[in-house]
Structure 1
Amino acid sequence: MKLAFIGASHWHLPLYLDPALQIEGVQVVGVSDPDAACVKALAARLGCAGDTDFRALCRKTRPDFVVALGRHCDMVEEARFLLEEGIPFALEKPCGLNARDAIELAALEERTGNFAAVPLVFRNGDFTLLLRKIAAQGTQYMSFRFIAGFPARYQQANCHWMLDPALSGGGSTINLGIHFFDLALLLMGADARVRHATMSNAAFGHPVEDYGLVVLEQGADLCVIETGYLYPAPTSTFDMHYAVRTPHDYLVAHDPETVELVHSSGERQMIASHTTNVAHYRTFMRDVLDRVRAGRPPLARLSDMVPIMRLVGDAYAKAGPLRKSTVSA
């Protein structure tokens, strides 16, 4: 199976590339990115074709599957080309800048019938299965706190565009929060809406928020999604705490590998579970390629991003413009 990676300077590249290189029968045939130096280095390392034009690369190498990364503002153009060319692909989140982009791609996905996956990778993991099981009779309250490292990591990865809202769509809410908006919709239902949102760039003063808090509601049920770029820790290390209350259980997670489930009777149960997104990219890559080979649809599609991006857009609208920070970035 021939794979190509486009928008390959994205800092998530190793999360997809490293697992792909370990899958038997998979060959990376090409890489593309507007950054010529990045393309040259990757192509030499992988022994494959490289091109700064992703269209030319795909037409030259004819891949069986493409992992599309890159700047958020470029994702619609990448997906539009792949859909129209009939090339199966996975498009990194958030698949554009706003709900309008998501709606356009979902409509094109429907018209072409092409395989277009979205790595909402929590869906590939045991944590979501556990949540769905305990929430079968409904949820009452949910809280997801997910604070990542400083925004300087994007500058160090040569992804400065992440700190420009015109190119990224925003900060931690659109970047880190996507997974939790998805979980909220899965557990609360499609009628969930934004009740409140507040955001700040007080920590680092960049044009995007380094902290965001969003409250979703569905009837009397509430969900809090708290994200940020505040934790003094390396990449893939998080200040995290999740809590979910159902009529019968209370679930708590505060580390990447363990969940505590407290039943209404008071009985406590410790469950091994991968509670961050990082571990699930490996499972995602194997699953998505298996689905392409078998002719099965993806676990999450472009159309699944429409309700997520509507909530994201509503959150930014509710929060309003960031106040000018007194901090020098």
Structure 2
Amino acid sequence: MAEDITNRGTMVADGAKRMTKVVVVESTHWHAPLYYGALRKREDVRVVGVSDSARLTGEEVARQFGCTAYASTPEMLDRERPDFAFVFGRHVDMPALAAALIERRIPFAIEKPCGLRAADVLALRQRAEAAGLYVAVPLIFRLSDTLAILRQAGGALEHGSFRFIAGPPQRYLRAGVPWMLDPALAGGGPLINLGVHFIDLFALLANEPIVSVSAGASSRMNGLPIEDVISVRLLTAGGRLGTIECGYLFPSDAALQRDFEFACRLERSYCVSREDGILVRRWQEDGSIASQRIPARFETDLYYPEFVRRVLDESASGAAPIAGLADAQRALGVVEAAYRSAAQGGVPVDPRNFDA
């Protein structure tokens, strides 16, 4: 049943500042701890509940915040009546978790991919838009030095090539999320987990609809039902081309967690990742080439505290989210198209076919 939200807000009747009540939904997720430090630093925020149906981390997280742990998210929402929620959980469960918040008119941020299918995210988007509800998605490269530098380099993306090879899938077993290795629960492997960020980055920079996706994938190394590695080719309506390669193959440790490289040709420059930043080479009016190395932070975990701060401020002020369900829907449509293409031997697939 939809909740009357007139008693929620950031101000009380006497004009004094009121604490924003926040809940953490499904804390057994490897990204959830990236949010906690920023939540603790907010003097205007109080975490009032933590849900964890897996019963693995909720009690400890609740103890750290001095709040109540719940096994049931709906029970927590009804008892705590929060002002904002940060939603994690299994990919298969995300649509139901989001629907519970939309029904109660609670603004929230939800981890990507927000569901298994683009059509599921479209349904959430339509409901949230009809309710006028703030919903943000951490497509984290939108806050990155990488995007800022590429935009400053000038012009739309003509061609982009991105490679992101993370550590082996056994790390998800150690993190207490074995469902990440089950495509029925996770939707797939590294593409739906990691590749969505680069689909979004390509779409932002190209600024044109992606109309054709082709892909090849392999599962032979890890022997799991999800892909070990996948290579995806994207083509826009105007002929802009992108390639994305992602996988669970890198021998990672605390010192070095992944292999990440990219190269982008924009209208007026060519940008290449380097270990310490981005090399930008620009054509000058006299035909000469100017070359510049710009420092950049490629460790994406660094941007989650800023995401927390930003979405809380956006939601309170009535601003639009830095990324929302429409962006997640677009990325997930490309993911579905890529998996369909890979299953059919690499034939091109139109990602717009997966919106309904």
- For this structure pair, what is the TM-score category when the shorter chain's length is used for normalisation? over 0.9
Q: What one-letter code is carried by the residue in structure 1 that aligns with 2:290?
A: E
Q: Which residue is equivalent to 2:294?
A: 271
Q: Map 1:281-296 to 2 at 5 A.
A: 281-296=304-319
Gaps of 5+ in 1: 323-329
Aligned residue identity for 1:13? A
What do you get for the CA RMSD once the two structures are aligned?
Answer: 1.7
The 5-angstrom pairing of residues 128-277 of structure 1 reads 128-136=147-155, 138-218=156-236, 219-234=238-253, 237-255=257-275, 258-264=277-283, 265-277=288-300
Unaligned runs of 5+ in 2: 1-19, 346-356
Instruction: Return the TM-score normalized by structure 2.
Output: 0.86
- In structure 2, the CA distance between the partners of 1:193 and 1:254, relative to structure 1 (3 Å rule), is farther
Q: In 1, are the aligned partners of 2:153 and 2:280 still within 8 Å (CA)?
A: no
Counterpart contact for 2:250–2:259, Cα < 8 Å: yes
1:282 and 1:206 mapped to 2: Cα distance?
Answer: 33
Question: Residue type matched to 2:273 in 1?
Answer: A
1:72 alignment counterpart: 91
Could you tell me whether the CA contact under 8 Å between 1:194 and 1:315 is conserved in 2?
no
Displacement of 1:276 in angstroms is 4.2
Is the 1:147–1:228 contact (alpha carbons within 8 Å) kept by the matching residues of 2? yes
Give the aligned partner of residue 96 of structure 1.
Answer: 115
What does the per-residue CA deviation read over 1:32-82, in whole Å, with 9 as the maximum and x for residues that have no partner? 011224222222232211111001111111221100000000000010010
* 1:82 aligns to 2:106 (yes or no): no
TM-score w.r.t. structure 1 length?
Answer: 0.92
Count of aligned pairs: 320
Higher mean alpha-carbon deviation, 162-171 vs 263-272, is at 263-272
Rounded Cα–Cα distance in structure 1 between residues aligned with 2:154 and 2:69? 47
Name which one, 1 or 2, has greater alpha-carbon Rg. 2
Cα shift at 1:201: 1.3
Question: What is the rounded CA distance, in whole Å, between the counterparts of 2:268 and 2:322 in structure 1?
Answer: 29
Q: Specify whether residues 144 and 37 from structure 1 end up closer, same or farther in structure 2 by C-alpha distance, changes over 3 A only.
A: closer
How far the C-alpha of 1:321 sits from its partner, in A, is: 7.3
Residue pair 1:94, 1:175 contacting (<8 A) in 2 also = yes
| Residues 17-96 of structure 1 aligned to structure 2 (within 5 Å) | 17-96=36-115
- Separation of aligned partners in 1, 2:319 and 2:166: 34
Q: Among all aligned residue pairs of Structure 1 and Structure 2, give the percentage whose two residues are the same amino acid.
A: 39
Task: Give SS of 1:101's match.
Answer: helix
Task: Please say if 1:310 is aligned against 2:333.
Answer: yes
Please name the residue that 1:117 is paired with: 136
How far the C-alpha of 1:199 sits from its partner, in A, is 0.9
CA distance in 2 between partners of 1:180 and 1:195 (Å) = 14
Instruction: State the match for 2:321 in structure 1.
Output: 298
- Alpha carbons 1:105, 1:303 under 8 Å: kept: no
2: distance between equivalents of 1:267 and 1:189?
Answer: 26
- Alpha carbons of structure 1 residues 321 and 21: separation in structure 2 relative to 1, 3 Å: farther
Cα gap change, 1:181 to 1:106, in 2 (>3 Å): same
Whether 1:5 and 2:28 are equivalent positions in the alignment is: no
Q: Which moved more, 1:300-309 or 1:142-151?
A: 300-309
Matched letter for residue 250 of structure 1: Y
* Alignment check: 8 A CA contact 2:213 2:337 kept: no
Q: Could you tell me how far 1:135 is from its partner in structure 2?
A: 4.5
Moved more, 42-51 or 178-187: 42-51
Would the aligned equivalents of 2:214 and 2:337 in 1 still touch at CA under 8 Å? no
Q: Structure 1 CA distance, aligned partners of 2:239 and 2:126?
A: 33
**What residue identity is the alignment partner of 1:42?**
V
Q: Which amino acid in the other structure matches residue 309 of structure 2?
A: R
What do the CA deviations read for 1:85-113 (whole angstroms, capped 9, x no partner)? Answer: 01110010000001111111111111111
Name which of 280, 295, 319 aligns with 2:303: 280
Q: Give the SS at the match of 2:243.
A: strand
In 2, the alpha carbon distance for the partners of 1:150 and 1:321 equals 26
Tell me the alpha carbon deviations over residues 95-141 of structure 1, each in whole angstroms, 9 at most, x when there is no partner.
000111111111111111111111112112332122223342x3221
Matched-pair contact (CA < 8 Å) for 2:213–2:334 = no
Q: Would the aligned equivalents of 1:30 and 1:50 in 2 still touch at CA under 8 Å?
A: yes
